[in-house]
A and B are shown apart, each in its own frame.
Chain A
């Protein structure tokens, strides 16, 4: 009996060693350990053994069963590892085939620049404020100290809805709206659509976009204005960018200046794009809020002062992305929009 058991163990272990798949392994298990299996059948004949032999053989039989079971488990795990390795090889794909197309959306480049500018000033403590596209002559001109005979008021410069309503020619009326509705300290940035009577060409569009900042507080100086603009230009165009404050005239600021930045092509060394001056002209206009404007909004210019500056977003966008034709921005060709 004992011999028979040992032979089964030896034979089975040998078979297990040679097995290389789960199915055969299972067959072996059923053949040996199944209800009608070799070992099971042999154990059924234990009744014919003597009383003394039974526990002895029983023990051996259990050990044999254990060993076989253990070997089967081991073989199982080694087969499954081999199988997995095989599967991995069979499952190889061509990873260079292009991925499935999933449409990617794009923000309009103008809106990307607008957002970026707004975010920059948000981080500097400016509130983002909106104003209407149709505004009053009062907000767009009168309260901004535009002389009554200023050519910008003409019907050949400004679109009118009525004698008193117009399409705002600048974002500056938002300054008036803000100063009339809030008390200093004021720090706002406002960007949006503006309109001027310009025929469409490479660099002009009757609708364009401006961004404008206004600060009103006690003790605001032109030195502060220069600092804010320097910082902003560096964030927008890079640390190497220099600025130049050139005296100018705007009705709503006094003193006023235009700001030139280093020529973006040569970075200030001089080239044909900048007429060898090293400067890109007129990135933005700025100045100290005109005392008349403060007075018009009920703010005492002897107590408060302020600065304001503004620029064309379209121009910045064109410079930033290297566009030479403003019409691209309003054509909305998907092949254009997808580039940004």
Chain B
């Protein structure tokens, strides 16, 4: 909200405050000043001049020569401006003038003619394009009011003082107004606030003569409708003071009537709408719900399709305005309008918000109407705008008004226990001070017994209970005056969840072995599942969708971390990062029922990826260590039918029947789709399963006292058998003294028959009680060889 300080000063006596002090004070009492905009644009030697004559330039078709009276003298100016005529008052930059943007104007000669200065546009005077009135756009600023010739333009246009840009919170629509901020200033600085005196000097006729009926058919969409009629309207530009005031508050002048409504909206925070009474069939105003499919041509000449949850202002037949959002083109005020209805109404804020969003229409009016405004303000604002219209001579006010809808207002009282206030804020504030603060905010408050009873003014519907009053007292008293105090109470011991601790451990481990942690979005493009060749009927394709995503690319709640990880691998290989060890810990989303009804399952998942200078076994080693650390026994079972992965280089990871995850080389067809030329290895593990299976209880096992004996074995075996099977077979037989069997090499080629391979194992034998001798080990070793021959038809190399 833009608050020109000079305007603010009309209602609150803050003459003695510097801009900085005002801004800091307001910020610290809750009206956060985002920025201070100086109106001083550094303009010098620009004055009001009157165009005496305009003659054409002999040597240039598009130039004219103006003689301009600047008070002290007459100057000649060569100009290309088209919108000027004799007798117009315009700003003249004289020889040596400074303009915004470090521009200096000097006497010059244009096409052989002396030019002693320059006529200025609003833009050249540093006014934002969007604020410039239509008639001065793309041309010279033509002053609409008489001024002494030679007068400094800074004075004329009020280019002095500052504007505060204040952030208004959702609960305080009353502060979307100069008066609201004036009230806040008064309370903050203990100054006197004065509400403008509203009076109409001369009213004629009776409203009934012009407007037959005003009624609300949809009280749920409009609570109160207050109408006035203005006759003998003369549409034209409004006086400069009015134009400049609303420009400083961020609005573009349109014409005297519209400017007056905007003036009051900025002043009081209550939107108004003026429209042509003679366009209303049967001279009736009916506030009703739009009919589904009904259309209206709005002010901006767009045809709008309406629905029954929108409010329209209609005549007997047609919708003429979209209530509280935008006026209609038909009933718009034009140069010929003579009779207007001034509407001021309290609309259903939710419906306004819905309507303006649905139609893509957002205006200063709708942005206020979509908040809870005071229905009582409606009458004040309408009388006030009539006063302004009378004051600027834009029309004659007709006696009387229509006031329909809710007009009875129940006064709300809220109680506050003074001690409760002190308890919550943690500071003791005198009861008198509390009362003074509340009353300074126009919240009439008094002691009744032990409690403060406050009558809540109509413009503060946000105050509903004790805590709200405590906040008022606290913020005006000043949060900065509350002294910090250490939190009391039993000292609790902070803990992390088991899952949180496990996550931390895994992350530490991975960081320690050279992995970088990544963070990718929880929502992905559903196309990624297809890029991973995930079959239609896979669980991974039963994803939860966002109904209003930012776009398809962000619409599916991921059922696996792989798409994000693959994208990151792709990005890194493409920008030349030759090797990568990456991981992410994050949630995947699963639901039994699709579309989802209840809260879905969120499963904490770890996805690790490696590419460049690596292989399957490195990835497996990384995964192995995780299971080793948490003492979970797992086996890797070959998976050849997962289309995301290489059919010959992929394993499911199992503890008994529980699947902990999958790992392997990504299928070359998939890496190709992701535009990755490297081989990529991924292991995706269910962290919650690791948590439930981990063994945290450690018991000491005695370190062996007697030496071990190691025997190596080179075994020739048919290709079809996997090392895992051989080890499982050996482990399953529980050979006496066999402590450990370890695979250490595989060989195929020269010396080994086609279809066979040579596997090298190392066997460690040990007894707890004594040193073993060679003979007994030979015996066991031979038994192993015998059994392996029987089972796999394998033999020693």
Contacts and interface: CB of A to CB of B under 8 A. Distances in A.
A222 B475 CA distance: 12
Contacts of A331: 571
B493 interface: yes
Contacts of A105: 510-517, 581
Contacts of B27: 246
A219 B423 contact: yes
B546 A159 contact: yes
Contacts of A136: 599
B233 interface: no
Contact of B32 (A126, A217, A246): A246
B484 A121 contact: no
Given A105-B514, A226-B482, A247-B28, A133 B467 contact: no
Taking residues whose C-beta sits less than 8 angstroms from the other chain, chain A's interface range is: 35 or more
Given A162-B596, A246-B30, A288 B424 contact: yes
A161 B172 CA distance: 31
A104 B577 contact: no
Given A134-B557, A193-B522, A332 B492 contact: no
B576 to A, nearest CB: 9
Contacts of B224: none
B741 interface: no
Contacts of B482: 222-223, 226, 245
Contacts of A103: 513-514, 581
A20 interface: no
Contacts of B514: 102-105
A288 B467 contact: yes
A195 B468 CA distance: 29
A122 B515 CA distance: 27
A129 B495 CA distance: 9
B554 to A, nearest CB: 6
Interface string A212-248: 0001011111111011101000000000000011111
Interface string B584-628: 000101000001110110100000000000000000000000000
Interface stretch (A28-36, A68-76, A81-89, A108-116): A108-116
A217 to B, nearest CB: 5
B195 interface: no
A273 interface: no
A334 B580 CA distance: 8
A275 B20 CA distance: 12
A155 B467 CA distance: 30
B353 A149 contact: yes
B561 interface: no
Interface in A134-148: 134-136, 147-148
A55 interface: no
B485 A223 contact: yes
Interface string A284-300: 00001011100000000
Pick the most buried of B353, B487, B521, B597: most chain A CB atoms within 10 A of its CB.
Answer: B487
A297 B608 CA distance: 40
Interface stretch (B499-507, B531-539, B782-790): B499-507
Pick the most buried of A118, A148, A245: most chain B CB atoms within 10 A of its CB.
Answer: A245
A253 B520 CA distance: 32
Interface stretch (A7-15, A39-47, A56-64, A255-263): A255-263
Contact of A335 (B485, B491, B512, B577): B577
A162 B602 CA distance: 17
A291 B602 contact: no
Contact of B30 (A104, A227, A248, A329): A248
Contacts of B479: 222, 226, 245-247, 255, 257
B550 A110 contact: no
A333 interface: yes
A128 interface: yes
A223 B495 contact: no
Contacts of A230: 484
B193 interface: no
Contacts of B349: 149
A111 B507 contact: yes
Contacts of B495: 122, 127-128
Contact of B423 (A123, A149, A221, A245): A221
Interface residues of B, number: 90
B572 A218 contact: no
A249 B486 CA distance: 25
B658 interface: no
Nearest to A186: B492
Contacts of A37: none
B582 to A, nearest CB: 7
A330 B521 contact: yes
Contacts of A335: 575, 577
A244 to B, nearest CB: 7
A222 B32 contact: no
A223 B429 CA distance: 13
A178 B516 CA distance: 33
A217 B487 CA distance: 10
Contacts of A248: 30, 32, 169
Contacts of B768: none
A290 B467 contact: yes
A124 B494 contact: yes
Nearest to B485: A223
Given A193-B522, A305-B423, A185 B596 contact: no
A134 B599 contact: yes
Contact of B596 (A156, A165, A223, A249): A165
A320 to B, nearest CB: 16
B29 interface: yes
Nearest to B475: A247
A156 B356 CA distance: 13
A305 B518 CA distance: 39
Contacts of A301: 467
Contacts of B515: 105
Contacts of B460: none
Contact of B494 (A102, A127, A254): A127
Given A334-B572, A334-B582, 6 more contacts: A105-B516, A130-B500, A133-B587, A206-B523, A218-B489, A332-B582
25 contacts: A105-B511, A122-B495, A128-B495, A128-B500, A132-B587, A132-B602, A134-B599, A136-B599, A154-B357, A155-B548, A162-B547, A162-B595, A187-B492, A222-B427, A224-B426, A224-B486, A247-B474, A249-B170, A255-B471, A290-B467, A292-B465, A301-B467, A305-B423, A330-B521, A335-B575
